Chain A
Amino acid sequence: MDTYVPILALGLIAAAFAIFSVVIGSLTGPKRYNRAKLDSYECGIEPTPQPVGGGRFPVKYYLTAMLFIVFDIEIVFLYPWAVAFDALGWFGLAEMVLFVLTVLVAYAYVWRRGGLDWD
């Protein structure tokens, strides 16, 4: 666990600095109430009513997030393989080619179905 002590130290310094900034910022500034100022910013027009919880957003973003997970897991498999590559030899290379090809099939399917198209 000793390895992580320096990270913890840096984290404490950073956290202290960030919390101090946020708190001091709310104390030092002026406070002049104005209803329009506290409205959502929409270039001066009446703001669009927002449902509690942020409302809805395009399903495209969920799709991107899911595709990201697929490829991120591929990367998670690739890293240990890359580190141990010299020891694995031809066997490791062949296995990884098979794995990557399998993922590429899924990738081609997503591409073909328009999952990577933005409008």
Chain B
Amino acid sequence: MPQFPDAVSNQNMTNWFLGSFDTHIPWWFILVVIKAVAAFAILVVLTLFNIWYERRVVSFMQMRIGPNRVGPQGLLQSLADGVKLALKEDIVPTNADKPVFWIAPLLSAIPAFLAIAVIPWGPAVSIFGHWTTLQLVDLPVGVLYVLAISSIGIYGIVLAGWSSGSTYPLLGALRSSAQMISYEVAMGLSFAGVFLYAGTMSPSGIVNAQQHGWYFYMLPLSAIIYIIAMVGETNRAPFDLPEAEGELVGGFHTEYSSLKFALFFLAEYINLVTVSALAVTMFFGGWRAPVPISLWSGANSGWYPMLWFMIKLLIFVFVFIWLRGTLPRLRYDQFMAFGWKVLIPVSVLWLLVVALFRQLRNAGDLDRAHAVPIGIGIAAVFLLLVVALEVRERNQIRRTPPPTVPDYEPLAGGFPVPPMPGQSAPAVPRRPQFARTAAAPAPALNGTTAEEASTR
């Protein structure tokens, strides 16, 4: 059997492919369309998969079985749910601002798709004999682009809540936006350290810079801050306050139904994938193979990197699900205080420390003998600061007098009410066991009779 060189067979393939079109569409454009359709398809399929994945994993964590009927292992469950949503009534409330109500889901879903464009899924591969990177576009300011695009999604949420003309969605939207912008600051600050090390803002450049070591152990605090911030940014448990069912029903999408609701759902899951992909790209080596596999020389070429990337991505998605299955929801003030008073100052100071070390190394003053005492010194100052702040807060709590609690009134305002914190209900008198002899009616709680209470 004759052996054709690769170039010849590729050329034949190209001719066959182009011949079937019989046009003069430039190759780069065909590649762009192929990659754009592929990115879109990957996102949609990943969303369908992730919804099933989440339900299934949470089920196993809660000793249930979860969806297992539609398709093998219930894999087609999300698709069935999508079809069901399409056949549901599309309710537009009377109170809603109709044009905005229609535009909001679009504003939320379209940017969610766009953000994935700059994420590198792998190095250069050959598609129909043409070399191209597995990345839709390699912007020099790629990470900034992701931040900008994902901020547009917040408009969708705010407008959805505002245009519903209802109380719960409005409150949910305000919470969402406040939360997302608060955690975006910490997120942005954690990226600055990566740019400082990589010397570039392009995602593919950052992946290349991680050839000799992933940034999650070179910049551990940045990675931790980013991972916390990304959970806050996607409004997921334990930071899912905008969708706190007990307080706000469904949050900003309470009034949405049918496929408009599905678009918000889609946007949320795509954002989940985007922040996970960004975490993999910035801190976990992007498409690079993890350590034992990377010893094999072919691990980082061809289509394999896409596999490594996908595995890392799904591990991150699993972490999201794990958090949801494990942690209770935070209180809103604790959540905001954590973002503004802990994450932001810590990430600013951490950035300065990273910059100092980098500059010392660049200037050549940093050898092992100096690095260790400097590192210990900085760590000590950091620890001291944290302890001082904590002591101060505890002192403040101790110094504030306990709030004075009014006496318990069982029928305050004419309604029976439970005791508030600090109050205690009087002991219920024992049921008169020898009721035959009890002539007088039992005295009402705290001495008022029913007539008195009703006239109050």
Contact = CB atoms under 8 A, between A and B. Distances in A.
Interface of A: 3-7, 9-11, 13-15, 17-19, 21-22, 24-26, 28-32, 37-43, 47-48, 50, 54-55, 57, 61, 64-65, 67-68, 71-72, 75, 78-79, 82-86, 89-90, 93, 96-97, 100, 103-104, 107, 111, 116-119
A61 B44 CA distance: 34
A118 to B, nearest CB: 4
A40 B95 contact: yes
A14 B88 contact: no
A56 to B, nearest CB: 10
A86 B355 CA distance: 10
A116 B162 CA distance: 25
Chain B at the A interface: SS class: helix
Of A5, A50, A78, the most chain B CB neighbours within 10 A belong to A78
Nearest to B270: A14
Contact of A10 (B36, B92, B182): B36
Interface in B177-192: 177-178, 181-182, 184-185, 188-189, 191-192
Contacts of B102: 22
Given A96-B355, A119-B333, A25 B260 contact: yes
Contacts, number: 204
8 contacts: A6-B32, A14-B113, A22-B105, A32-B89, A38-B93, A40-B255, A68-B181, A111-B341
Contacts of B85: 25
Of B92, B95, B200, B358, the most chain A CB neighbours within 10 A belong to B95
Contacts of B181: 64-65, 68
A6 B94 contact: no
B359 A43 contact: no
Contact of B86 (A28, A84, A103): A28
A63 B352 CA distance: 27
Interface in B332-358: 332-333, 336-337, 340-341, 344-345, 348, 351-352, 355-356, 358
B359 A93 contact: yes
Interface string B318-342: 0000000000000011001100110
A40 B29 CA distance: 48
Interface stretch (B64-72, B165-173, B278-286): B165-173
Contacts of A32: 89
B259 A22 contact: yes
A117 B191 CA distance: 26
A104 B356 CA distance: 18
Given A7-B114, A32-B89, A83-B201, A18 B263 contact: yes
A83 B94 CA distance: 51
A13 B114 contact: no
A111 B182 CA distance: 15
A86 to B, nearest CB: 6
A18 B89 contact: no
A14 B195 contact: no
Interface residues on B, range: 35 or more
B185 A75 contact: yes
B117 interface: yes
Contacts of B44: 17
A72 B188 contact: yes
B227 interface: no
Interface string B343-381: 011001001100110110011000000000000000000
Contact of A38 (B91, B332, B344): B91
A98 B308 CA distance: 42
A68 B114 contact: no
B201 A7 contact: no
A36 to B, nearest CB: 10
Contacts of A86: 199, 358, 362
Of B136, B144, B254, B359, the most chain A CB neighbours within 10 A belong to B359
B344 A71 contact: yes
A71 B166 contact: no
A42 B164 CA distance: 12
The 9 closest A-B pairs by CB, nearest first: A25-B259, A40-B166, A14-B113, A118-B333, A82-B195, A75-B188, A9-B36, A82-B196, A68-B181
B195 A6 contact: no
Contact of A29 (B40, B89, B195, B254): B89
B185 A79 contact: no
Nearest to A20: B259
Contact of B117 (A6, A47, A72): A6
Interface string B403-423: 000000000000000000000
Of A28, A42, A100, A111, the most chain B CB neighbours within 10 A belong to A28
B79 interface: no
A118 B359 contact: no
